[in-house]
Amino acid sequence: MYAIKNDGGFTLIEFLVAVIILMVGLLGLLQSVNLAISTNKVNLLRNEAVIVADQEISRQIAKGFDLMSTNAGTSVIRRPILNSFQNYSVIRTEVPRFSNSKMLKLEVRWSYKNVGYTHDASAVLSK
């Protein structure tokens, strides 16, 4: 009798090398997914900061020319975002006053992953 010999399969070393190559590829893919999620969150927070600034400017303009405040001040606005809350600091900068117009200048600040971000907005209201 003759023994049947099969040399067509993988060896254990070849299998381990293939697994390592697949792991490196999957880790790279997971890192790109993590970066995409982080970038999307930063963009979402920036969009919310624009909304906060727009609402504050609209609130001040709705008061009318005589009651619109152009004095310096700071307030904190807490907004719900993706099942959590984000604090935005709204800083109103005092600008020179003119007889027929007032300028409102805002800076909205927030942080994400210990990195600070800002958004500037301004509006001019005339008589």
Predicted confidence (pLDDT) per residue in 62-104, tens digit:
888 777 776 778 899 999 988 889 999 999 987 777 778 888 8
Q: Does pLDDT of 6 surpass 70?
A: no
Count of CB atoms within 10 A of residue 56's CB? 20
* DSSP letter (8 states) at residue 14: H
Q: Which two tokens stand for residue 126?
A: 């005339």
Question: 3-state DSSP helix/strand/coil percent for the chain, to nearest 5?
Answer: 40, 35, 25
Where does the chain show beta strands of DSSP type E?
73-81, 84-93, 101-112, 115-126
Q: Does pLDDT of 11 surpass 90?
A: no
State how far the Cα of 44 lies from the Cα of 33, in Å rounded to an integer. 17
Residue 88 bridge partners (DSSP):
77
Tens of pLDDT, residue by residue over 25-61, are 999 999 999 999 999 999 999 999 999 999 998 888 8
State how far the Cα of 59 lies from the Cα of 126, in Å rounded to an integer. 16
Long-range contacts of range 71-76, CB-CB < 8 Å, 24 or more positions apart?
Answer: none
The pTM for the full model equals 0.75
State how far the Cα of 90 lies from the Cα of 113, in Å rounded to an integer. 19
